[in-house]
Amino acid sequence: MPVKSNIFTIASQTGYSVSTVSRVLTGQAEKYRISKKAIDLITATARQVNYQPDLVAQTLRTRQSHTIGLLVPGIDNPFFATLSGIIINLLACRGYHTLLADSRELEQEEEQALQMFKGRKVDGIIAVPVATSAANLEKIGRDIPVVLIDRHFKKTTLPYVCTDNYAGARMATEFLLKRGYKSILAIQGVTTSMPNQERLRGFTESIEGKPIKYAIAGDTFSVENGRDQVIKAFREGKRPFDAIFAFSATILLGTIDALRELNLKVGKDVGVISFDNNGFLDFLDPAVTRVEQPLREVSELAVATLFEIIEARRDGLRDPDLIQKLIPPALAVRSSC
């Protein structure tokens, strides 16, 4: 059980030079015309001493880490947890590893994570940005391929793949209107994030000019926010709205909780609609109508886009055509409104 085996020990054991060993072990044998005898001997001893290449040294030399940096603003949020899960597995399929960082919605931590990614020589970055400006990410993007996911910037040179939140919000709002609701409370999340802004835009553009009463409240994608806003709006027995549009599943949960506390029946007293496709929305009673984000599609396209850039740059070509795509979500109609 040799404690450590490297290319050098194999070299001396087989009598060949480290160069030859390296070329055999990296599959460059025939390119450099290594003899079959050498190949066999080297691979055999490599297996025998259980050789595992030092990926750190390899990275240092080749400038390729086979690692992607994944940056999310809150891995404890089930939405980002699911997203991360999908992406990690997609990357694993391509033989890439994932360095995961959580910015916790803080620009400063985002910046730190990006520096760390750079120092670790990741081959690419997939990020749900929290910064208000694209500047920082664009700068990094010149060194390392970056693809934004879920959130994007208005005018940016960076590729992104996101849900079409504007379209989604329109679908949801129009659905509520068609159902005859007359006064709607929209509870939003982080106001600086693009998904939130787009959902808000979709909501207001669908509703403005119509004889509908509405209000917008809230400022975080959290259960507490959902709860607080509903309590505040419906306090003291008032019932100022007949429908609620929760801008995320977490907000929805808070909403449900508050309505229960207020003794209002979801679907009967107050119609409820939500965003996100957390499976458990189907297990609530009543199941909640929501705009389901095409998470898998978004992730797959983002990963594919990233690798196109990586490969192009690796081959010394310039970046492929800029991909900035919004994938339309789907309305999953249940009985909450």
Partner DNA sequence: AAGCTTTGCTCAAACGATTGCGCAAAAATA
Partner DNA sequence: TATTTTTGCGCAATCGTTTGAGCAAAGCTT
Say whether residue 6 binds a second copy (CB under 8 A). no
Say whether residue 121 binds a second copy (CB under 8 A). yes
| Among residues 2, 32, 40, 282, the one that binds DNA under rule CB under 7 A | 32
Nearer to DNA, 121 or 213 (CB): 121
| Among residues 85, 135, 210, 330, the one that binds a second copy under rule CB under 8 A | 85
Beta strands in the chain (DSSP E): 67-72, 97-102, 124-127, 146-149, 160-163, 183-187, 213-217, 243-246, 271-275, 289-292, 324-327, 330-332
Cα first-last separation, the chain? 66
Binding footprint of a second copy, residue count (CB under 8 A) = 46
Spell out the residues 6+ positions from residue 226 whose beta carbon is closer than 8 angstroms to its own: 187, 218, 246, 250, 251, 252, 253, 254, 255, 257, 258
| Among residues 54, 205, 224, 269, the one that binds a second copy under rule CB under 8 A | 54
Among 27, 149, 155, residue whose Cα is nearest residue 91: 149
Stretch that binds a second copy, among 6-14, 89-97, 127-135, 314-322 (CB under 8 A): 89-97
Tokens of 124: 């690419």
Subset of 92-111 contacting a second copy (CB under 8 A): 92, 97-102, 104
Cα separation, 310 vs 292, in Å, equals 30
| Among residues 12, 44, 53, 112, the one that binds DNA under rule CB under 7 A | 53
Site string for a second copy, 192-231 (x = CB under 8 A): -------------------------------x--------
Give which of DNA, a second copy, none residue 290 binds (C-beta under 5 to 8 Å, depending on kind). none
Cα separation, 65 vs 86, in Å, equals 21
CB of 96 to DNA, least distance (A): 16
Say whether residue 19 binds DNA (CB under 7 A). yes
Q: Are 249 and 79 in contact (CB under 8 A)?
A: yes
DSSP 95: T
Nearer to a second copy, 58 or 192 (CB): 58
Say whether residue 38 binds DNA (CB under 7 A). yes
Q: Please classify residue 167 by burial: count the beta carbons closer than 10 Å to its beta carbon, then call 0-12 exposed, 13-18 middle and 19+ buried.
A: middle
CB atoms within 10 A of CB 138: 14
| Among residues 40, 44, 61, 210, the one that binds DNA under rule CB under 7 A | 61
CB of 37 to a second copy, least distance (A): 28
Q: Please report, as a single letter, which amino acid is at residue 305.
A: T
Q: Are 313 and 145 in contact (CB under 8 A)?
A: yes
Say whether residue 76 binds a second copy (CB under 8 A). yes
DSSP string, 179-224: TT--EEEEE---TTSHHHHHHHHHHHHHHTTSS-EEEEE--SSSHH
Stretch that binds a second copy, among 12-20, 40-48, 114-122, 149-157 (CB under 8 A): 114-122
Q: Please report, as a single letter, which amino acid is at residue 336.
A: S
Say whether residue 283 binds a second copy (CB under 8 A). yes
Give which of DNA, a second copy, none residue 115 binds (C-beta under 5 to 8 Å, depending on kind). a second copy
| Maximal CA-CA distance, the chain | 87
| Among residues 2, 12, 28, 265, the one that binds DNA under rule CB under 7 A | 28
CB of 101 to DNA, least distance (A): 20
Say whether residue 123 binds DNA (CB under 7 A). no
Residues of this chain that interact with a second copy (CB under 8 A) are 52-57, 59-60, 65, 67, 74-76, 78, 81-82, 84-86, 88-89, 92, 97-102, 104, 115-116, 118-121, 223, 253, 256-257, 260, 279-280, 282-285
